[in-house]
Amino acid sequence: MSSQTNPASERRIQPRLPGPFPVRVRVTNAGRVFDTHTLADNLSEGGLYLQLPAQFTAGTRLFTLCRLPGGASVAARCRVLRTDAKPLGLCGVAVRFSRARMLASTAV
């Protein structure tokens, strides 16, 4: 399979804002908590594509706090859509927002 994108097979409906964007990710599963800081490769109105040091199954619920240029943030409850193996033990994780809220910058 080629690593190049074929425009005819592009399934994205919403435009992407290219990153990287700093993101805090928190997952609580069966009483265990996974909490880390990472980067999002891109952001859209509907979700994020993250780089994580752990793999999650499709449907896993997580919370993200993504910092945008200019200081505003997006706080979101998300669900994992898919994961992709990456080099150096990382995993690309596509998430869809279930509920998202824009938080204004606190900078004066």
Domains in the chain, start-ordered, CATH in brackets? 15-103 (2.40.10.220)
0.85 surpassed by pTM: no
At residue 13, the pLDDT reads 66
Q: Which residue has the higher pLDDT, 54 or 99?
A: 99
At residue 20, the pLDDT reads 94
Q: Collect all residues with Cβ–Cβ distance below 8 Å to 65 and sequence separation of at least 6.
A: 23, 24, 73, 74, 75, 76
Q: Work out the percent of the chain whose per-residue pLDDT is above 70.
A: 84
Q: Are 101 and 74 in contact (CB under 8 A)?
A: yes
Q: Are 47 and 97 in contact (CB under 8 A)?
A: yes
Rounded CA gap, 13 and 11, in Å?
6
Q: What is the mean pLDDT of the chain?
A: 85
